């Protein structure tokens, strides 16, 4: 867990310590040359308050806080060097393309990891574990990772659907109840099918897991769980959906793994039991 998440998710911080955390994150790289006294003066707190703050974050002391903040600032600076929407141009060699795509992946995954709350992920995995059936609602390029997620659920013994047809999605929603769980995937939250499907799911009391950007979460409040992805990709001014694709894939892989881990013995047993029927011909 990086220092930003440690600060934002820390429990039991006083209002003064919360403000100290905000000040520390705002300083970033500037903390490098500061002593603990200088840092405390800049943050308007006592040296003792800084020590207590570090302990609450699980750090040994101010030196560890400095190291963590400098690392965070360095990583953020490195990530800004990557153009998410146009990672290469007409002059790029294959070697440069490989390097820039690696940077795009690293940037997107790091940002998505910062946004993806472990508590929300755990809650979503529990919803799937309890559900009679999981229904995935999405469209366009997201159908590919969604279809793979459906197949993985099926491979672990969990009934799941993922239809490309809006009509089939609407009928599935109408046939659902509280025993189903819906996973809605929309990077922007603007997918046209959501206007019909989300109200139906709400009226049928279906728990909904929303996967999308922070804007998507703000656009569609009040659902059971939100798994948030990096939002630096333009909806229109880009080569293609490099970043949103890898962000959604990462979230779905994390969700499936969290679900599988909660019922590891049963999922593994089902997987083993299905091998004789699903393995490639000629494999033993």
Place 124 in a pLDDT band, splitting at 50, 70 and 90: very high
pLDDT at 85: 86
Q: Do the beta carbons of residue 212 and residue 229 sit within 8 Å?
A: yes
pLDDT at 80: 54
pLDDT of residue 210 exceeding 70, the answer is yes
Dist. CA 57–CA 12, nearest whole Å: 10
Q: Per CATH, which fold does 117-278 belong to? A: Rossmann fold (3.40.50)
3-state secondary structure of 133: strand
Q: Do the beta carbons of residue 213 and residue 228 sit within 8 Å?
A: yes
pLDDT of residue 76 exceeding 70, the answer is no
Mean pLDDT of 57-86: 80
Q: Do the beta carbons of residue 32 and residue 73 sit within 8 Å?
A: no
Dist. CA 161–CA 153, nearest whole Å: 9
3-state SS of 146-204?
Answer: HHHHHHHHHHCCCCEEECCCHHHHHHHHHCCCCCEEEEEECCCCCCCCHHHHHHHHHHC
Q: In CATH, what is the architecture of 3-114?
A: Orthogonal Bundle (1.10)
Write out the residue limits of the CATH 1.10.10.10 domain(s) in the chain. Answer: 3-114
pLDDT of residue 94 exceeding 70, the answer is yes
Write out the residue limits of the CATH 3.40.50.10490 domain(s) in the chain. Answer: 117-278
Q: Do the beta carbons of residue 5 and residue 120 sit within 8 Å?
A: no
The string of pLDDT tens digits covering residues 219-257 is 899 999 999 998 878 778 888 888 888 999 999 999 999
Q: Which two tokens stand for residue 40?
A: 């405390």
The total of other beta-carbon atoms located within 10 Å of residue 84's CB is: 21
pTM above the 0.85 mark? no
78 has which bridge partners? Answer: none
Per-position DSSP letters for 37-88, written without gaps between them: HHHHHHHTS-HHHHHHHHHHTT-SSHHHHHHHHHHHHHHHHHHHTS-SS-S-
Question: Angle CA(257)–CA(262)–CA(265) in degrees, nearest 5?
Answer: 100
Q: What are the C-alpha distances in Å from 148 to residues 95, 114, 165, 188, 256?
A: 30, 24, 17, 21, 11
User: Look-up: residue for tokens 């990462």?
Assistant: 250
Dist. CA 80–CA 75, nearest whole Å: 9
Place 77 in a pLDDT band, splitting at 50, 70 and 90: low
Q: Do the beta carbons of residue 161 and residue 149 sit within 8 Å?
A: no
The total of other beta-carbon atoms located within 10 Å of residue 185's CB is: 26
Please give the DSSP secondary-structure letter assigned to residue 127.
H
Q: Which residue has the higher pLDDT, 84 or 185?
A: 185
The string of pLDDT tens digits covering residues 14-31 is 989 989 998 888 888 788
Q: Which residue has the higher pLDDT, 10 or 283?
A: 10
């Amino acid at each position: 867990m990086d220092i930003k998440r440690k600060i934002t998710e820390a429990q039991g911080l006083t209002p003064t310590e919360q403000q100290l955390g905000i000040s520390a994150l705002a300083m970033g790289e500037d903390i490098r040359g500061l002593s603990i006294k200088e840092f405390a003066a800049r943050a308007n707190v006592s040296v003792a308050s800084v020590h207590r703050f570090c302990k609450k974050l699980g750090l040994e002391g101010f030196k560890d806080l400095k190291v963590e903040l400098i690392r965070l600032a360095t990583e953020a600076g490195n990530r800004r060097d990557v153009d998410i929407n146009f990672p290469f141009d007409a002059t790029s060699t294959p070697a440069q393309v490989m390097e820039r795509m690696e940077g795009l992946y690293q940037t997107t995954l790091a940002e998505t990891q910062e946004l993806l709350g472990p508590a929300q992920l755990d809650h979503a995995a529990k919803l799937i574990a309890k559900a009679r059936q999981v229904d995935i609602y999405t469209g366009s390029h997201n159908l590919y990772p969604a279809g793979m997620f459906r197949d993985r659920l099926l491979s672990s013994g969990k009934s799941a659907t993922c239809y490309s047809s809006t009509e089939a999605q609407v009928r599935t929603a109408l046939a659902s109840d509280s025993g189903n769980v819906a996973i809605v995937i929309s990077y922007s939250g603007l997918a046209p099918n959501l206007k019909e499907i989300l109200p139906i799911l709400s009226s049928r009391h279906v728990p909904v897991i929303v996967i999308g950007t922070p804007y998507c979460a703000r656009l569609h409040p009040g659902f059971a769980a939100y798994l948030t992805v990096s939002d630096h990709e333009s909806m229109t001014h880009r080569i293609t959906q490099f970043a949103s694709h890898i962000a959604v894939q990462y979230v779905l892989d994390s969700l499936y793994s969290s679900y599988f881990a909660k019922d590891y013995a049963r999922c593994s047993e089902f997987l083993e039991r299905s091998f004789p029927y699903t393995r490639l011909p000629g494999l033993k």
